[in-house]
Structure 1
Amino acid sequence: MQLIDIGVNLTNASFTSDRQAVLQRAFDAGVTQLVLTGTDLACSEQSLQLCHELDESGQQLFCTAGFHPHHASDWGHESERQLSALLREPRVRAVGECGLDFNRDFSPRPQQERVLHAQLALAAQLQRPVFLHERDASERLLAILRDYRDHLPAAVVHCFTGDKQALYRYLDMDLHIGITGWICDERRGTHLHPLMRDIARGRLMLESDAPWLLPRTLRPKPKNGRNEPAFLPEVLREVALHRGESTDDLARHTSECARSFFGLPVLAGDETSDFVDTNQRPRG
């Protein structure tokens, strides 16, 4: 069984002292490919650097590059040019993390929207998939996406935590859905349980969002409370339970979906390579 973690914040300071050990634990747990998340220019550049430093084979670590809505205020007149250059790097596989966050509003909403427009236009121009963030902003995100969706190869709503209405609207727009350890949280994630069966194969992917969102069902829990990609099998187990699928089957189709979405190589010994998917075909 091989898993792909589509969202890990390996640049986070909590990983500074043991990144190689974190990766080894992930590989030992069956998480064999990871996509590192870029949230601003510096983070995106560091993610790319880590891909080269920690994976000389070029087969296991990849990354995204973009501006998280929290950092939209940092977007300047050179940002688009610098981001465009990053997105042409072979290890950079998607635009993002980008989107809207009307929950914390760390950047003004008009600026969040302007920066999202710029990144979606860049993704359409370069024909790169998009790694989206959304909190309390699904209607506005959908309204903006409508102008770009036919020109994008693919887009995933990362760390989906919304309700049934939001999920159906995303799926109606032919978006992918990323599920994290939020689904393992008995305090705030149980509303996701009945929605898991509504996400079609070929549209569902798994992610740790480490170091955040430690699965609360995990036993034993790490003393430091830090989430790691090695704990992704716990998310797999919870999602499989509520989809009525085996963990092996879920691992197979979510990993092949991620491989198709990000254009990742097939690893030796991978049994998912016979799964046919056309998610990356342009829609317009």
Structure 2
Amino acid sequence: MSFIDIGVNLTNNRFNDDYEQVIETARQHNVITQILTGTSLQESQQALALAREYPDLYSTAGCHPHDAKDFQDQDLRALKALLQHDTVVAVGECGLDFNRNFSPQDTQLKVFEQQIQLACEVQKPLFLHERDAGDAMIALLKQYQSKLPKAVIHCFTGSQKSLETYIDMGLYIGITGWICDERRGQALAEMVHLIPDDKLMIETDAPFLTPRDLTKEQKSQLKSNRNEPFLLPHIAQKIASCREQSLLELSKNCFNNTVAFFNLPIKQQ
């Protein structure tokens, strides 16, 4: 049984000293492919550079809503150039975050729409971030629905209403270790069964969102409580339990969904 982590922030400085070991440890736990998240032009460039070092890594290119305030027109042209590489498999991480509002909401909306248009132009899927902005996200995506390529709501943590609307729109849903949090993740655990088998993907969002239900042995393998891709099978097992599926069935579905969604040159299971 093999796994693909669709969201790893491997360019984060918490991985600077040992990213080679992080990749190898993930492989030893059957996480055979990682997609490195680009959250700004600089991070997207770094993610591509790192992905090109390893045949089992890919990357995304985009501007996170937190960074929208610093986004320039020339950055959009530079992202388009990055997306010409086969190793860069999606536009993003992009979207809306009305929870923390590190960038003004009108700026977030403008930069997000530019990246939607870019995805429509280059016909690569969207890797989406949404926090407390479900209505605005849905309204903007619907404007482009006829031209929109495939899209995934990365690290979904929203309401059941948002989830059902995203599913009705044909979007994919990415689930992280948030579901392993007995405090914040209970609602997600109770609604994850609503996601169709062919629309579900899994991710760690490492080094963030370390699962709270790890064993002592798993915790002992972590560096400063840093989340790592090798924990993806643990997250998958939690999701499978919540969906009353076998881990084998869930992992196969998620693997095949991911290969098809990102158009990866990997044989489906």
Change (3 A) 1:77 1:223: closer
Q: Give the equivalent residue in structure 2 for 1:47.
A: 47
1:202 is the counterpart of 2:161: no
Contact 1:2 1:32 in 2 (8 A): yes
Q: Give the equivalent residue in structure 1 for 2:15.
A: 15
Contact 1:124 1:151 in 2 (8 A): yes
Between the aligned partners of 2:107 and 2:26, the Cα distance in structure 1 is 37
The alignment partner of 2:23 has SS state of helix
The one-character-per-residue Cα deviations of 1:141-194 (angstroms, maximum 9, x if unpaired) are: 000000112212200000000121110011111100000000000011011122
The one-character-per-residue Cα deviations of 1:118-152 (angstroms, maximum 9, x if unpaired) are: 00001001111000000000000000000112212
Between the aligned partners of 2:147 and 2:22, the Cα distance in structure 1 is 37
Amino acid across the alignment from 1:257: N
Q: Give the equivalent residue in structure 2 for 1:87.
A: 83
What is the Cα-based RMSD across aligned positions, in Å?
0.9
1:170 is the counterpart of 2:166: yes
The alignment partner of 2:33 has SS state of strand
Contact 1:217 1:234 in 2 (8 A): no
Q: Tell me which stretches of 4 or more aligned residues in structure 1 moved more than 4 Å.
A: none
The one-character-per-residue Cα deviations of 1:202-235 (angstroms, maximum 9, x if unpaired) are: 1000000000000111112135110000011111
Q: Give the equivalent residue in structure 2 for 1:280.
A: none
Between the aligned partners of 1:51 and 1:196, the Cα distance in structure 2 is 31
Between the aligned partners of 2:67 and 2:149, the Cα distance in structure 1 is 25
Between the aligned partners of 1:136 and 1:196, the Cα distance in structure 2 is 18
Q: For structure 1, list consecutive stretches of 5 or more residues without a partner in the other structure.
A: 274-284
Between the aligned partners of 2:237 and 2:73, the Cα distance in structure 1 is 45
Amino acid across the alignment from 1:39: T
Q: Give the equivalent residue in structure 1 for 2:188.
A: 192
1:227 is the counterpart of 2:223: no
Amino acid across the alignment from 2:226: R
Between the aligned partners of 2:240 and 2:180, the Cα distance in structure 1 is 12
The alignment partner of 1:248 has SS state of helix
What's the offset of the Cα at 1:69?
0.2
Between the aligned partners of 1:223 and 1:185, the Cα distance in structure 2 is 19
Q: Give the equivalent residue in structure 1 for 2:260.
A: 260
Write out aligned runs for 1:1-284 (5 A): 1-53=1-53, 55=54, 58=55, 60-220=56-216, 221=219, 222=222, 224-266=224-266, 272-273=268-269
* TM-score normalized by the length of structure 1: 0.92
Amino acid across the alignment from 2:133: A
Contact 1:72 1:112 in 2 (8 A): yes
Between the aligned partners of 1:150 and 1:96, the Cα distance in structure 2 is 20
The alignment partner of 1:150 has SS state of coil
Could you tell me the percent identity over the aligned residues? Answer: 48
The alignment partner of 1:149 has SS state of coil
Amino acid across the alignment from 1:32: I
Between the aligned partners of 2:197 and 2:250, the Cα distance in structure 1 is 9
Amino acid across the alignment from 2:207: P
* TM-score normalized by the length of structure 2: 0.97
Q: Give the equivalent residue in structure 2 for 1:281.
A: none
Larger fraction in helix? 2
Count of aligned residue pairs for this structure pair: 265
Amino acid across the alignment from 2:227: N
Between the aligned partners of 1:247 and 1:265, the Cα distance in structure 2 is 24
Between the aligned partners of 1:3 and 1:27, the Cα distance in structure 2 is 9
What's the offset of the Cα at 1:75?
0.9
The one-character-per-residue Cα deviations of 1:12-43 (angstroms, maximum 9, x if unpaired) are: 00000000000000000010011000000000
Between the aligned partners of 1:150 and 1:5, the Cα distance in structure 2 is 29
